[in-house]
Structure 1
Amino acid sequence: MAVALGSCGDAGEEDGLPVVVIGAPDSIFEDGLRLSPGAQLVRDATASGIVALNAEGEVVPALGESWIVTEDGRSYIFRLRQLTWSDGEPLTAEDARASLLATIRQLRGTSLGLDLRKIDDVRAMTARVIEIRLTGPMPEFLQLLAQPELAIMHDGESIAPMRLEREGDLAILRPTPPESIGLPEREPEELGKTVRLRALPGVQANEAFSQGKAAALLDGTVFTLPLADTGPLSRGTIRLDPALGLFGMLVSNEQGFFAEVENREALSMAIDRAALAEGFSLGGWQPSTRVVPVGLPGNPVSPGERWASLSIDQRRDRARQQVVDWQRRTGQAPRVRLWVPEGPGSDVLVRALSLDLATIGVELRRVQFPQGADLVMIDRVARYPSARWFLNQFNCELLRGPCSPEADELVTQSLRPEPGEGSATLLAEAEGALIAREVYIPLGAPVRWSLVRSGLEGFSENSWSRHPIYALAGVEAW
């Protein structure tokens, strides 16, 4: 497949800064409220919320120029910038309120919708002041509010640092003229660069970067990691994000071998997580045996890793005995069907997991579609650093396999804890209830990598794997 991202030869910037993201070609143009990583990049550049995340993953002002948090931590009051819509009408607090409430309604039935249950009320206090009241304190609320899906919309448009033009599968992102949104006019050379963004499958994306036809390659995962061109002639350096999130196998079947919680636990005990990292030469990767990572920032209740007192051989001995007991009772041979996304990294991963499960007498088979799997590989970066985000991913409303209504109820109780109860304690109890059901086999932190041309500014590794296009383009957002 030929890759054409701009001018021939090295990644020139006469026609714009060429950037590729790994994904299906039309994925960057997804609309609505369920966005691919590439579509999140475009939404982030072309539709702004009250706050945003910068290249370092830090919360910064966007449409809201300043804010205060009340002493009880339950009220966030924002002053909006003096900006205008395309028709010249001013941005108002009522615009922001209506947009947020509409988005919250539309997100019901999603994990992000569950996260937003912390919002109790949204009020327009004056023409430019909006208050968001919470059910209780949430130190991570600003990071939740910075999600691309929560952009402020009005009659189908937003106010943002860049504007989108589409040419086939190419997204052309141009800096927004400041005078068009009510800001002082600036010289063209001060506005920043145009970005030419394209989504390509992993092989073609890496080819574009290695041939100098892209200045940056974004959104690599463990499934595509072996494609990364990091040899001595590479045009850039691989950049690994210290990502927080979920990387593991979701149980999607409660029949046969998977009907018994003890069998699901046996599978988890058999996996040598530290050895998985060696297969990818990943230094510093954090394996995990829990739903909520041990030592999560801001999580005061943090139990240790499971089975910490047992060696991997002792864990496998115990797991093997459970499998043998099940075989004797049922006369069946345990087989596990696993779905993972396509990619050379997936091949490495499946081989390692197959060997791990073979040590306890379980055969692992890879299947083509998740609908026919017992286990489905999930790989998600957290939106904010709280046990609440991790637990909401396993809400019974969202799963087709085993779940824990008890865990869901505890998470709901944590929204408005009774006197004497702490939210953190309730969330810790919820994780315990979820682990008791063995609905998820964790492996560790998600892997996110990028390739960035030497000298390109505006890229920083961060825990949320958020790399704003406008930062790469040198566009001053506000």
Structure 2
Amino acid sequence: MSLGVAAAPLAGCNQRPDSGPVIVSAIGQPPRPIDPARVRLDTPTGLLLDATAEGLVRYDAAGQIEPGLAERWIVIDEGMSYIFRLRDARWSDGSRVEADQVVAQLRHQLARRSRNPLAPFLTAVDEIVTMTPQVIEVRLARPRPDLLKLFAQPELALWRSGTVGGAGPMRIVRGTRSPLLRPAADPGRADPDDPQRLAPEQDVRLIGERAARALVRFAARESDYVAGGSFVDWPLVGLAGIAPANIRIDPAAGLFGLSIVHRDGFLADPAHRAALSGAIDRAAITAAVMANWEPAERILPEMLDSAAPPALPGWSLLTPEQRAAALRQQVAAYGAPVSLRIALPAGPGATLVFAQLAVSLRTAGITPVRVGASDDADLRLLDLVAPYDSARWYLANACTVCAQPVQDALIAARDAPTLAERARLIAAADAALATDTAFIPIARPLRWSAVAMRLRQWRANTRAWHPLNRLRDDTN
């Protein structure tokens, strides 16, 4: 994928010495050590929780599953039971992690009152029980092959009440708005006669700030890593004077498009919604933000766990000119002025997206109105990275407001007793959602980072997730 970054001198990309703490600028608010069941996580707080309060498993640098609180696990009973053996771990206050505590925390995260965004995708968890002081079992009502990928998310990091953090690989040693993190001692590896000596380079200082400030800091060689970049901030990268060798793009999987929020007026008719989706010039939108950012016309990126290939919209075989003409005809036949409010975040990338959307809509006789990301709107931009590889996640998130048959199909897929039946029902839901047109796909999510050469363990991955303890080669 071409980066589309303005030419910048290569000098400086290798000049940061590998000395002193790794300075991370994460785009967002200052990180907060807080229970993940209470808030939705932005990048800074998600990185802090992932570092200080891991779950049973976690992601490594390449986005693959590795042990967390569980040192090993087995799957039995045809995928209906996961048994985890806990490692000899300590909470941040030094007390030993016990199975009863882990079970209680997992139940807390998945409780109905929890605000955890992953809870709706873990309804197959039937029971979580303590088997021994170091062994727990997660029993399922229905098989879920991707359970470990969900358990690896920072939203399922286990947070012990009354402590700052959990039992993650790092500890907060200086709790300010920009906390200093240090690798935690591992009781299973530590030699009491040879105390571990940590080099300053193993520390990480985590800063939460605006993208513009993060890029300026990186360009001035005052930080080593800018995390959490998206389409919103991408146009700033070319202005920052950062060497192209330092700019990395994740092949992120997920949803990027417009959710249809209100199904009234012009949007009440599914034929109108379909014509609107077909007339949007996706290639112009993506090219305006970043060269070679690939457009998307389908909700599902691939077959995944569906029984059929991704459903194509009915307009997919039409030429761009025919699509635009179809929307003009629908607007003209409607017989009343059409105005659509589009909710977008603030930022230069969002402005470019809106400008191209406006061209498509105005050409058809529709008046576009930009509103804030959380304001009432007719269309709302959805920009989400998929936490695991299930078609149901895509369809459920695309179905913000959709017809009852689509909702029924998604519920039936969720509750299917076998994987084969689940796959069949997912395919049916995908086809129904393509006909209903509750979501207008535009592209894959765009996720970028600025990475100093000293961070040799950084790897691009589909989760666009890069743990703070997996940046330098010698961190643990």
Do the aligned residues in 1 keep the contact of 2:36 with 2:116 (CA within 8 Å)? no
**Would the alpha carbon gap of residues 133 and 31 (structure 1) be closer, same or farther in structure 2, given more than 3 Å must change?**
closer
Q: Which ranges in structure 2 are unaligned for 5 or more consecutive residues?
A: 1-14
In the alignment, which residue of structure 2 is the partner of 1:21?
26
**Would the alpha carbon gap of residues 13 and 107 (structure 1) be closer, same or farther in structure 2, given more than 3 Å must change?**
farther
In the alignment, which residue of structure 1 is the partner of 2:376?
372
Give the counterpart letter for 2:150 in structure 1: L
Shift of 1:150: 1.5
**Would the alpha carbon gap of residues 220 and 425 (structure 1) be closer, same or farther in structure 2, given more than 3 Å must change?**
same
Matched, 1:176 2:184: yes
Give the counterpart letter for 2:383 in structure 1: D
In the alignment, which residue of structure 2 is the partner of 1:227?
236
In the alignment, which residue of structure 2 is the partner of 1:392?
396
Q: Percent identity?
A: 33
Report which stretch shifted further, 365-374 or 318-327: 365-374
In the alignment, which residue of structure 2 is the partner of 1:116?
122
Matched, 1:353 2:362: no
- Whole-Å Cα distance in 2 between the matches of residues 335 and 381 of structure 1? 30
Match of 2:41 among 35, 38, 43: 35
- Whole-Å Cα distance in 2 between the matches of residues 368 and 207 of structure 1? 26
1:93-115 Cα offsets, whole Å, 9 max, x none, are 22221111111116656541111
**Would the alpha carbon gap of residues 420 and 169 (structure 1) be closer, same or farther in structure 2, given more than 3 Å must change?**
closer
Give the counterpart letter for 1:278 in structure 2: A
Q: How many residues align?
A: 455
**Would the alpha carbon gap of residues 45 and 110 (structure 1) be closer, same or farther in structure 2, given more than 3 Å must change?**
closer
- Whole-Å Cα distance in 2 between the matches of residues 162 and 155 of structure 1? 18
Do the aligned residues in 1 keep the contact of 2:143 with 2:419 (CA within 8 Å)? no
- Whole-Å Cα distance in 1 between the matches of residues 140 and 118 of structure 2? 16
- Whole-Å Cα distance in 2 between the matches of residues 137 and 419 of structure 1? 7
In the alignment, which residue of structure 2 is the partner of 1:125?
131
- Whole-Å Cα distance in 1 between the matches of residues 162 and 404 of structure 2? 38
In the alignment, which residue of structure 2 is the partner of 1:6?
none
Do the aligned residues in 2 keep the contact of 1:194 with 1:473 (CA within 8 Å)? no
Report which stretch shifted further, 380-389 or 154-163: 154-163
- Whole-Å Cα distance in 1 between the matches of residues 94 and 475 of structure 2? 22
- Whole-Å Cα distance in 1 between the matches of residues 418 and 224 of structure 2? 54
SS at match of 1:133: strand
In the alignment, which residue of structure 2 is the partner of 1:336?
340
SS at match of 2:296: coil
In the alignment, which residue of structure 2 is the partner of 1:461?
460
**Would the alpha carbon gap of residues 88 and 350 (structure 1) be closer, same or farther in structure 2, given more than 3 Å must change?**
closer
In the alignment, which residue of structure 2 is the partner of 1:440?
439
- Whole-Å Cα distance in 2 between the matches of residues 215 and 404 of structure 1? 48
Do the aligned residues in 2 keep the contact of 1:83 with 1:183 (CA within 8 Å)? no
In the alignment, which residue of structure 2 is the partner of 1:5?
none
TM-score, length of structure 1 as denominator length: 0.87
1:324-373 Cα offsets, whole Å, 9 max, x none, are 1112xxxx211111121111111111111111222322221212353232
Report which stretch shifted further, 170-179 or 219-228: 170-179
Give the counterpart letter for 1:67 in structure 2: W
**Would the alpha carbon gap of residues 233 and 341 (structure 1) be closer, same or farther in structure 2, given more than 3 Å must change?**
closer
Q: Which ranges in structure 1 are unaligned for 5 or more consecutive residues?
A: 1-9
**Would the alpha carbon gap of residues 419 and 243 (structure 1) be closer, same or farther in structure 2, given more than 3 Å must change?**
closer
**Would the alpha carbon gap of residues 418 and 166 (structure 1) be closer, same or farther in structure 2, given more than 3 Å must change?**
same
Give the counterpart letter for 1:341 in structure 2: P
- Whole-Å Cα distance in 1 between the matches of residues 63 and 419 of structure 2? 34
Give the counterpart letter for 2:317 in structure 1: S
Match of 1:61 among 59, 63, 67: 67
In the alignment, which residue of structure 2 is the partner of 1:326?
334
Matched, 1:267 2:276: yes
1:172-197 Cα offsets, whole Å, 9 max, x none, are 11111335x88545521379611111
**Would the alpha carbon gap of residues 289 and 128 (structure 1) be closer, same or farther in structure 2, given more than 3 Å must change?**
same
Matched, 1:250 2:256: no
Give the counterpart letter for 1:62 in structure 2: G
In the alignment, which residue of structure 2 is the partner of 1:79?
85
Give the counterpart letter for 1:317 in structure 2: A
Shift of 1:421: 6.0
- Whole-Å Cα distance in 1 between the matches of residues 201 and 136 of structure 2? 31
1:96-142 Cα offsets, whole Å, 9 max, x none, are 21111111116656541111112122122222221112222222111
SS at match of 1:469: coil
RMSD: 2.7
**Would the alpha carbon gap of residues 16 and 88 (structure 1) be closer, same or farther in structure 2, given more than 3 Å must change?**
closer
Shift of 1:473: 4.8
Shift of 1:85: 3.8
SS at match of 1:76: strand
In the alignment, which residue of structure 2 is the partner of 1:404?
403
SS at match of 1:291: coil
**Would the alpha carbon gap of residues 74 and 286 (structure 1) be closer, same or farther in structure 2, given more than 3 Å must change?**
farther
- Whole-Å Cα distance in 2 between the matches of residues 369 and 47 of structure 1? 30
Match of 1:138 among 121, 144, 148: 144
Do the aligned residues in 1 keep the contact of 2:455 with 2:472 (CA within 8 Å)? no
